[in-house]
Amino acid sequence: MYAQAVKATVGADRSQTVDVLNWDLPKVTTTTVYALRATVQQQNGGLRAESQIYLKVLPPESVAPVDQVPPLPKKYRVLLIATQKYGDALAAELRAMGVELDVIDQDHLDRFGELRDAGQLRRKYDVIWLGSFEALWKVLDDDMAEGIAQAVKDGVGFIHTGGESSFHGGEGIAACLDMTKLPELLPVKIRSEAYDLSLLNQSKDVRVFTKGWTDSGLKWIGIENYNEVEAKPDSDIIMKFEDWPLLVTGHYGKGRTLAFMGFTPRDKTAEATWRALYAQMLMAATGENPEYRYAAVMGRETPVFQLLKEQPEAGVQALPAAIDAAAKDGTARFKLDITNGGRFARLLRLRIAWTNAPAQEPVVLYGENYFDLFPGEKKQVPVDVVMPEGFTGSANGTLILEGENVPESRIPVSFTAAQ
């Protein structure tokens, strides 16, 4: 954080420039938003004013888009099962991301026997990633499928991505997963013995439904080809393409499972969109929320206030834990002390939900509302609760503190008429 201070004297009913911000823009490798706040405090007085602006800083043009994708939070050990036609580009991208990768393709069918040993799979890999594999049902026997299923049940993540030979697949090149045990693992229902490919689409209607995730640019490039499936009732739909599930997560025993129905690219040209998407998928398959880690990948085109909405979750504490105040001269007064943790807290707001109040609800006046907090910042907010005329007895409710990236805090409140 950067800060500077200055003292100045400004006459009544006058305005003047008292200082210039002496701050060099940081050099960034991914689009970054900075909050700049100016606060004026009257010396030996109580007057105070504050203003805040947001500045989006872009990386230099010399930084390639793919190099603007944040690195993976840790090294993942992944087993990729896919034919070379579909898997080579995916394998190249995963290796470029720093994944410790092992690959079984059509040239190594002898290695399919390793899939029977669930214990070994669990020891060697964090995630099993099944890409497109023509006629998989012919080479994956029941014991192999059972080995994968048991490893996932014991905690290994499982990802399946779309393609001509994924899920059921297309005629003549189908994977026919519906003829194996693997559909039990997936968070989606596969069409049984039916062509499930949707090809040459021109729509870009990609929508995200889960906090922490970003489409990483899919809505800019669209989804040309995908597999048509149905989400299982106990799954979580992360993204949809038009009315079709596009990315869905679930559980199988202790393991996290993920299905992405879009076709993964077959060319080996590295693209920021796909790298960011794969990173989020790996995190989810190992039980981590991406927490908007990749929201800024398409930041050059994204409005600054959209980037501000896509912030990782912040931890904010509010005290006291319960509020009990008497209404003197018709008004109950208290102060709320709010302390932010280590992340930027965006657009905090306060409100009271009444459970027992007069027919005419009290008027609540907040000393401040809809504000941001910097990491580690503290703020005390005075609150006045103006009771209706003739108020007697008590009014009870819950004070709710929440923000764009701050989960709800609920504080019981009780106000009584002064004796």
For 63-82, the pLDDT digits (tens) are: 998 999 999 999 999 999 99
Same domain, 237 and 96: yes
Same domain, 287 and 152: yes
In sequence order, which ranges of 73-172 are alpha helices (DSSP H)? 84-96, 118-124, 136-139, 142-153
For the segment 215-224, the average pLDDT, to the nearest whole number, is 91
In tens, the pLDDT along 1-43 reads 788 888 888 887 888 888 888 888 889 999 999 999 998 888 8
For the segment 114-126, the average pLDDT, to the nearest whole number, is 97
DSSP letter for each residue of 225-247: -EE--EE-TTSEEEEEETTEEEE
Mean pLDDT, the chain, as a whole number? Answer: 94
Number of domains in the chain: 3
- Rounded to whole angstroms, the Cα distance separating 409 from 401 reads 5
Same domain, 77 and 45: no
Same domain, 217 and 277: yes
In tens, the pLDDT along 240-292 reads 999 999 999 999 999 999 999 999 999 877 789 999 999 999 999 999 999 99
Query: 236 pLDDT band (50/70/90 cuts)?
Result: very high
- Helix, coil or strand: residue 298: helix
Give the end of a domain, one of 277, 305, 333: 305
Q: What percent of the chain has pLDDT over 70?
A: 100
**Domain housing 40:** 1-63
Same domain, 237 and 328: no
* Burial degree of 171 (CB within 10 A; 0-12, 13-18, 19+): exposed
- Rounded to whole angstroms, the Cα distance separating 244 from 405 reads 28
For residue 267, what pLDDT is reported?
86
Same domain, 244 and 320: no
Element (H, E) at 282: helix 272-285
Same domain, 178 and 208: yes
| DSSP β-bridge partners for residue 38 | 51
For the segment 37-64, the average pLDDT, to the nearest whole number, is 89
Same domain, 277 and 346: no
In single-letter form, the type of residue at position 173 comes to: I
Same domain, 288 and 153: yes
For residue 176, what pLDDT is reported?
94
Is pLDDT of 206 > 80? yes
The verdict on residue 94 lying in a domain is yes
- Rounded to whole angstroms, the Cα distance separating 343 from 284 reads 21
Same domain, 47 and 194: no
CATH code for the domain of 370: 2.60.40.2310
Give the end of a domain, one of 241, 275, 305: 305
For residue 313, what pLDDT is reported?
94
Same domain, 172 and 274: yes
